[in-house]
Amino acid sequence: MTKIVLVTGATAGFGKAIAERLVGDGYRVIATGRRSDRLDALAKSLGPALLPLVLDMDDTAALRALPASLPEGWQEVDILVNNAGLALGVGKAQDSAVADWRQMIETNIAGLVEITHALLPGMVARDRGHIVSIGSTAGTYPYLGGNVYGGTKAFVAQFMRNLRCDLLGTKVRATNLEPGLCGGSEFSNVRLRDDAKAAAVYQDTHPIQPEDIAETVAWVLGLPAHVNINRIEMMPTCQAAGGLAVARGVKV
C-alpha cells in the first residue's frame, strides 16, 4: 500500500526537496504551505502523487479540521513531516522584537503541536505512522542571537523525545532531525529580511543542502519498522559547535 506523507512548508527549501524526493521514492505526498502558486507548480511537476494543500500553520481552526478536510483517499496520513518553521532576527534578546518571538513560538511550537495533535490519533488507531520533525542544532547549542529561535527548537527536541514515551507500545515512530548550517532555502532571507546579508551567511562555506535533508528523511522513513531513529544531529563539514564565550574587561 502506498504510504501517504504530509509535509508542511513544502513551497520551498527543505519541504519542497522532501516532497520531491518522497514522490520520487513512491510515496503519495500532501504538500502544504501558504503560497498556492508554488504548490500548484509543484503539483504540476510531480503529478497526481502530490496533493497541494494551502495551509497556514498559524490557522488553528484549519489545523484542527485538517484530517476531516482532506479529500477521500488522502485522509489516512501515515507520515507527518513537521518542516514548517522559521527564525526571525539575530539580535540579542534585549534588542529583539517581541512580535518576532511570538511569531516563532506560534509557528515553530504552536503550529507544530496542533498539526501533530490533529494527525496523531489516526496513526495510533491504525497502529502505523511516523512523525519526523525538523529541529535544529540551535535547539542544543546556544549562540548569540539564537534566543527564542533556539528555545523553540529545544521545545521541538524535547516534545519529540516525549512523544516516544507516549507512543511506546504502538508502532508509531518519532524522529527529530537537527540540522546546522543549511543553504538552498529561504531561511536566512526570512531571518535577516535582507537578501545580501542572507547571502553573506553562506559566503565561502559549503552548507547542507535541501537534498541532503530530503535524503536523510527518506533514509529514516525507509528503515525497517522495528527501527526508530530518535534524533539525528547533522552539520556541514565546515561547521562545528564553537565552545564557550568569555567577556573580558567586565567588572562585576
Residues between 168 and 207 with contacts to ligand 8X3, criterion CB under 6 A: 180-181
DSSP 8-state assignment for residue 235: -
Given a contact cutoff of 8 angstroms between Cβ atoms, the answer to whether 178 and 157 are in contact is yes
By CB under 6 A, tell whether 138 contacts ligand 8X3.
yes
Of 32, 136, 175, 176, the one binding ligand 8X3 by CB under 6 A: 136
Candidate ranges 7-15, 111-119, 131-139, 226-234; the one touching ligand 8X3 (CB under 6 A)? 131-139
Strand 4-7, strand 79-82: pairing: parallel
If the CB atoms of residues 95 and 127 are measured against ligand 8X3, the closer one turns out to be 95
Given a contact cutoff of 8 angstroms between Cβ atoms, the answer to whether 184 and 210 are in contact is yes
Cell 497502529 appears where? 127
Cell 503529478 appears where? 47
Q: Where are the alpha helices (DSSP H) in 73-229?
A: 98-104, 112-126, 147-167, 187-192, 195-201, 210-222
Closest approach of ligand 8X3 to the CB of residue 143, in Å: 7
By CB under 6 A, tell whether 137 contacts ligand 8X3.
yes
Candidate ranges 17-25, 32-40, 52-60, 135-143; the one touching ligand 8X3 (CB under 6 A)? 135-143
If the CB atoms of residues 107 and 136 are measured against ligand 8X3, the closer one turns out to be 136
Q: How far is 52 from 22, CA to CA, in rounded Å?
A: 14
Residues 6 or more apart whose Cβ sits within 8 Å of residue 169: none
Closest approach of ligand 8X3 to the CB of residue 136, in Å: 3
If the CB atoms of residues 82 and 136 are measured against ligand 8X3, the closer one turns out to be 136
Closest approach of ligand 8X3 to the CB of residue 91, in Å: 14
Closest approach of ligand 8X3 to the CB of residue 3, in Å: 27
Residue nearest ligand 8X3, Cβ-based: 136
- From the list 241, 16, 251, the residue with the least C-alpha distance to 150 is 241
Would you call 143 a catalytic residue per the annotation? no
Alpha carbon of residue 11 to chain centroid: 13
Candidate ranges 36-44, 132-140, 220-228, 243-251; the one touching ligand 8X3 (CB under 6 A)? 132-140
Closest approach of ligand 8X3 to the CB of residue 231, in Å: 14
What angle (nearest 5°) sits at the alpha carbon of residue 78, between those of residues 74 and 84? 90
DSSP 8-state assignment for residue 207: -
Interface ranges with ligand 8X3 (CB under 6 A): 136-138, 180-181
